[in-house]
A = this chain, B = another copy of it.
Amino acid sequence: MRNTVLAAFLFLAPGVLWSDPLPSWAEGETKTQIVDFVDKVTDPENAAYVTPAERIAVFDNDGTLWAEQPVYFQFIFAMDRLAELAKEDPSILSSPTLKAAAQGDLATVLEGGHDALIEVVNATHAGLTVDAFQDAVAEWLDTARHPSTGLPYDQMTYQPMVELLRYLRDEGFKTYIVSGGGLHFMRVFTEEAYGIPPEQVLGTYSETTYDSSGDTPVIAKASGIVFVDDKEGKPINIERTIGRRPILVGGNSDGDFAMMEWTTAGDGARLGILVHHTDAEREWAYDRDSAIGRLVDGLDKGPDMGWVIVDMAQDWSRVYTGAN
């Protein structure tokens, strides 16, 4: 009996070891570069070997791990929530921007630029406890559907990237999200969608307050953004929160440029992975002229810095986790 088990194990083991950890990545240069990098830094015999403690991998979220069109999903949540809140208290729609947002009139809101976005976020993300806010996000994720794909938003994660995250963790990496998205928003789904626990999610955050005047102390979200986790804010937040320079980074827009530059400028082996949205058929095709996920510097300077540019149309055999 024991010998049978042993034989079965020996027979199965090679299959396990040789199974492809990245089945949704097409065979080719991009996939090879990623796997070669991981092989190199995890091989104690290799000069590029990195100890597990230093195997930090950071990823942007919007446009890198899940889709971001026609606008960041968190903003769709904000508009939906505003419409909900206005049903109970129409006076909340105290400006043309807020009225437009509650009607889902994205074009009008976007005309107002950054200030308009902040106004909508403040009106929908503040004045409640973190727990209550996250309950609202969870309920929205359960019920809302994307306007063009019809998928739940948390099924519009990129299956190749989900596989990459899992592969990296299996190889001893610690995987983090470093996103311009809201910290409390993301933490609702990152563990289930990506296997990334709350303490490994870095994002933009508002002021929060600690109030112990009631029966039990609570932490609540206040108006006003304290830290914007974008552009130079990304390496600053990584240094502040993680305290180590990552060895691998994934991004897709110029908001990720500084974090990718900082990571790949480090000593020793480093890998930068830039997701280029080239797939108008299965996803969207956009870069230099896009209002969302604008990508200029990464395309112009990334190749010289040795970054791997992912051509989504060519390199991914599958796009969304929720559909083939």
Contacts and interface: CB of A to CB of B under 8 A. Distances in A.
Interface of A: 53, 130, 174, 183, 187, 197-199, 201, 205, 208-210, 212, 216-217, 219, 232, 235-236, 239-244, 258, 261-262, 265
Contact of A217 (B197, B209, B240, B265): B265
A210 B236 contact: yes
B258 A235 contact: no
User: Considering the complex of A and B, which 3 residue pairs feature the smallest CB-CB distances, nearest first?
Assistant: A198-B243, A210-B232, A199-B242
Nearest to A134: B243
- What is the interface of chain A mostly: helix, strand, loop, or mixed? mixed
A268 to B, nearest CB: 13
Most B-side CB within 10 Å, residue of A232, A240, A265: A240
Given A198-B244, A243-B199, A235 B262 contact: no
Contacts of A235: 210, 217, 219
Given A216-B265, A217-B261, A240 B199 contact: no
B258 A212 contact: yes
A302 to B, nearest CB: 14
B240 A208 contact: yes
A241 B199 contact: yes
Contact of A208 (B197, B239, B261): B239
A244 B199 contact: yes
A228 to B, nearest CB: 13
Nearest to A174: B199
24 contacts: A174-B199, A183-B240, A183-B243, A198-B243, A199-B244, A205-B240, A208-B236, A208-B239, A208-B240, A209-B232, A210-B232, A210-B235, A210-B236, A210-B258, A210-B262, A212-B262, A216-B265, A217-B235, A217-B258, A219-B235, A219-B236, A219-B239, A219-B262, A241-B241
Contacts of A197: 53, 243
